[in-house]
Amino acid sequence: MSISFRGFVESTASVSTAEELVNIFLKEIAKLGYDRMAFCLLSNHNNLGLKAGVGYINNYPDDWLSHYFENDFDRFDPVLTYGRQNLGTFSWDEMEGKMSMTKKQKVCLNLGSEAKLFNGTFTPLWGPHRFAGVSLASTEKTDACHYDAKTRDIITAYCNHFYLVFQRLQQVTKIKNEEYDNLFLSFLEKEVLTWAAQGKSDNDIADIMTISSFTVNYHFRNIFKKLKSNNRIVAISKAISLGLIHT
């Protein structure tokens, strides 16, 4: 396990984009049985010029994300609430045994399981005047992960190093005065923006991608944050000029 972590550190030493970092991270956590991740900025990161946002980078099921934000789960998500009170990685199961949850929080956790987010863990990531976190989960309910004290500490190490490298990349981006060299847009964000650039409405995009219009808006909110834009025209213009989308 330690050899694998050393390899992770060496692999991330040469990355130049957030997308490369995410791909390497996903390969490593897959060795532990996890195939889902959500990296959350749980406070503004003024040092990086980034605003708070749940699921800033993630590969969670799109339907679940849509339902999550439609119901404002980010305001009372028990995982995030418990994470604010802890330093190291914890499993969602152990959190249930230690935290007195409201009815809404129990619903949030149960619906996460229905969305096939099993064996969940969360790693709080603390820094000077800022807070972030990484949730991991598996789509396999049984025999996917072996979570014990050793695995917990390895996950803590992986997530903290991910956060460290992510901040380095974003700091370079900020220093380069919005050259956006290390900007990362997910596949779905690129697809939404590409359709928008072709003049498609939210409803059109939702129909084409077979997602809800709320999910389309969710992707646009993330796009605006990443491109530091207040409207779609500016976001599309920046994305095209940076080569992030092609029309």
* pLDDT, tens digit, 9 for 90 and up, residues 214-226: 999 999 999 999 8
Q: Distance between CA atoms of 49 and 183, rounded to whole angstroms?
A: 12
Q: What is the mean pLDDT of the chain?
A: 90
Q: Locate the domains of the chain by residue range.
A: 2-175, 187-241
Q: Distance between CA atoms of 75 and 193, rounded to whole angstroms?
A: 27
Q: What is the pLDDT of residue 177?
A: 46
CA atoms within 13 Å, Cβ hemisphere of 108: 22
Average pLDDT over residues 122-137: 95
In which band, very low, low, confident or very high, does the pLDDT at 79 lie, cut at 50, 70 and 90? very high
139 and 164 Cβ atoms separated by less than 8 Å: no
Candidate from 58-72, 115-129, 134-148 with smallest mean pLDDT? 134-148
The share of the chain scoring above pLDDT 90, in percent, equals: 70
Strands (E), the chain: 36-41, 53-58, 90-91, 118-127, 130-138
On the question of a common fold for 2-175 and 187-241, the answer reads no
CATH number of 2-175: 3.30.450.80
Q: Which residue has the higher pLDDT, 128 or 104?
A: 104
Q: pTM (2 decimals)?
A: 0.73
* pLDDT, tens digit, 9 for 90 and up, residues 155-206: 999 999 999 999 988 876 665 545 555 678 999 999 999 999 999 999 999 9
pLDDT at 109 over 80: yes
Architecture of domain 187-241: Orthogonal Bundle (1.10)
